[in-house]
């Protein structure tokens, strides 16, 4: 069985209003029709009653009916006049032989006149001549006078209802129906859109509708509801995004911790194993020459120093990741840090050091941690001396504004392959692993540099110089509250 067609709210509301309004209109028009018809009938009967009373006065005065009827103008043409006694016997009729007429006491208008003094019948067929008449009867002391108007075209027109007013009312009703349709359609469209919005809101979907709601109370309520839902949806989306970001960050932290643990474990194995072998050899009681014994002791010292540096670097990264609650801040003059680096290089053997060129035309002061700022330049310097193969280091000031400073660190060495540049800041990443371990590097130097720069609100990038060597460009925020 086909399902019933469901009408929209607009149509249901319109048909309901149409039913009630047209029910009222039809009832009113019917009432008006009957009222006007009754009024004309009563008015016509009242005229006949006046004529009946004048005839009763003639009867009382003893004047002959025919003389009076023929000598006076009648109110209507073809008027039939009858005189009936209280017993119902017809004693006079101006159109029919009264001696042949039967008893009229059972006639409705006669019975009503006998009872209340007057009576009329709007439309009844005469039993005497078979014609349709409008009867009006009036009771006197001894007789009842009845006048009857035959139903003709003129009488029909006289009793006909004036349809002009009813047609005007009908036209107004049609116009009001059209207006009701337009009004209910507007209301229905708004409610349909609200229903669509409710369905989407129940499913958690976004509601996009560029058509404005009407400028009325319902439209204002609709706009408020949709705005509140949109704000709630945006808040929920932001909350979900924040939750996802927090979850990703937490997962990333866990991944980095696992990676750091694995890397540390891997990095510790080599020096610990080397120390253990050296110590086992020394403790085995095997006779060793003084040179061999000294070599084993020196190897233990070198690997121990490597372990110390590794633990210090791991501790430093942990402090940085702990944030400002762990790391203190103070006024740091970057120029003084560079002078200290330059002095340290000056006391190194000439074959192991590189020439440092500083181009800082102004004093740069930032709000940061002195040891961390020193670690940036010392790690970059150690990295250049250990792996670049160059002779010179260039440190220059690119920008010194109120909010930040931008610094460039370069060497004139061999640089690295382009494919390896994005991984230079990864923890324990080495371009040449064997060479790095021989140099005593922990693989955390550039990772520390990146973390320190980020801790101070800056960014760092690396690229190969066109003439050879690496170029590091990084920025440092002047204060904690500064926005760049």
What order of strands is seen across the sheet that includes strand 404-411?
Answer: 355-359, 392-400, 404-411, 470-477, 460-464
Report residue 234 as tokens.
Answer: 């945006």
Confidence of residue 438 (pLDDT cuts 50, 70, 90): very low
- Single out the residue of 396, 409, 413 nearest to residue 358, CA to CA: 396
Residue 458 above 80 pLDDT? yes
Lowest mean pLDDT among 139-148, 227-236, 336-345: 227-236
Confidence of residue 71 (pLDDT cuts 50, 70, 90): confident
Q: So what's the pLDDT on residue 245?
A: 86
Q: So what's the pLDDT on residue 371?
A: 82
- pLDDT averaged over the chain? 79
Q: So what's the pLDDT on residue 435?
A: 45
Among the residues of 355-407, which ranges form H helices? Answer: 370-383
Report residue 60 as tokens.
Answer: 């009382």
How many angstroms separate the CA atoms of 315 and 297, rounded?
27
Residue 381 above 80 pLDDT? yes
Using an 8 Å Cβ cutoff, are 470 and 411 in contact? Answer: yes
Residue 411's DSSP bridge partners are: 393
Residue 310 above 70 pLDDT? no
pLDDT digits (tens, 9 = 90+) for 32-43: 777 777 777 777
Q: Within a 13 Å sphere around the CA of 430, how many CA atoms are in the beta-carbon half?
A: 18
Confidence of residue 366 (pLDDT cuts 50, 70, 90): very high
Residue 335 above 90 pLDDT? yes
Q: So what's the pLDDT on residue 331?
A: 92
Percent of the chain whose pLDDT exceeds 70: 79
- Single out the residue of 82, 92, 137 nearest to residue 115, CA to CA: 137
Residues 6+ apart with CB under 8 A from 91: 83, 84, 85, 98, 143
């Amino acid at each position: 069985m086909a399902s019933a067609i469901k009408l929209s709210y607009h149509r249901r509301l319109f048909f309901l209003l149409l039913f009630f309004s047209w029910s009222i209109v039809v009832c009113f028009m019917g009432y008006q029709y009957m009222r006007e018809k009754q009024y004309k009938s009563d008015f016509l009967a009242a005229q006949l009653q006046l004529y009946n009373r004048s005839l009763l006065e003639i009867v009382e005065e003893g004047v002959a009916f025919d003389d009076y009827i023929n000598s006076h103008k009648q109110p209507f043409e073809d008027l039939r006049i009858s005189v009936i006694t209280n017993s119902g016997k017809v004693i006079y009729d101006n159109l029919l032989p009264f001696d042949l007429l039967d008893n009229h006491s059972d006639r409705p208008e006669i019975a009503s006149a006998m009872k209340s003094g007057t009576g009329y019948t709007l439309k009844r067929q005469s039993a005497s001549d078979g014609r349709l008449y409008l009867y009006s009867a009036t009771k006197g002391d001894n007789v009842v006078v009845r006048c009857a108007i035959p139903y003709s075209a003129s009488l029909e027109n006289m009793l006909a209802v004036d349809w002009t007013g009813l047609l005007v009312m009908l036209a107004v009703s049609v116009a009001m129906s059209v207006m009701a349709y337009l009004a209910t359609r507007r209301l229905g469209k708004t409610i349909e859109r609200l229903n669509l919005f409710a369905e989407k809101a129940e499913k958690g979907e976004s509601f996009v509708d560029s058509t404005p709601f009407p400028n009325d109370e319902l439209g204002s309520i609709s706009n408020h509801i949709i705005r509140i839902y949109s704000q709630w949806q945006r808040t929920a989306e932001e909350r979900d995004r924040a939750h996802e970001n927090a979850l990703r960050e937490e997962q990333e932290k866990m991944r980095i911790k696992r990676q750091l643990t694995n890397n540390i474990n891997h990095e510790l194995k080599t020096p610990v194993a080397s120390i253990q072998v050296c110590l086992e050899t020394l403790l085995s009681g095997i006779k060793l020459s003084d040179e061999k014994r000294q070599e084993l002791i020196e190897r233990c010292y070198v690997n121990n120093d490597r372990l110390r540096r590794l633990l210090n670097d791991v501790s430093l990264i942990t402090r940085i990741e702990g944030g400002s609650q762990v790391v203190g801040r103070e006024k740091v003059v970057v120029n003084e840090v560079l002078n200290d680096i330059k002095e340290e290089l000056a006391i190194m053997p000439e074959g192991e050091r590189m020439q440092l060129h500083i181009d800082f035309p102004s004093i740069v002061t930032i709000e940061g941690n002195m040891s961390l700022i020193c670690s940036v330049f010392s790690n970059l310097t150690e990295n250049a001396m250990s792996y670049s193969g160059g002779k010179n280091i260039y440190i220059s000031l690119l920008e010194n504004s109120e909010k930040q400073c931008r610094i460039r660190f370069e060497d004139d060495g061999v640089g690295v392959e382009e494919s390896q540049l994005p991984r230079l800041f990864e923890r324990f990443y080495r371009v040449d692993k064997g060479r790095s371990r021989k140099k005593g590097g922990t693989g955390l130097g550039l990772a520390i540099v990146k973390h320190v720069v980020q801790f101070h609100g800056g960014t760092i990038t690396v690229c190969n110089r066109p003439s050879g060597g690496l170029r590091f460009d990084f920025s440092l925020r002047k204060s904690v509250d500064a926005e760049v």
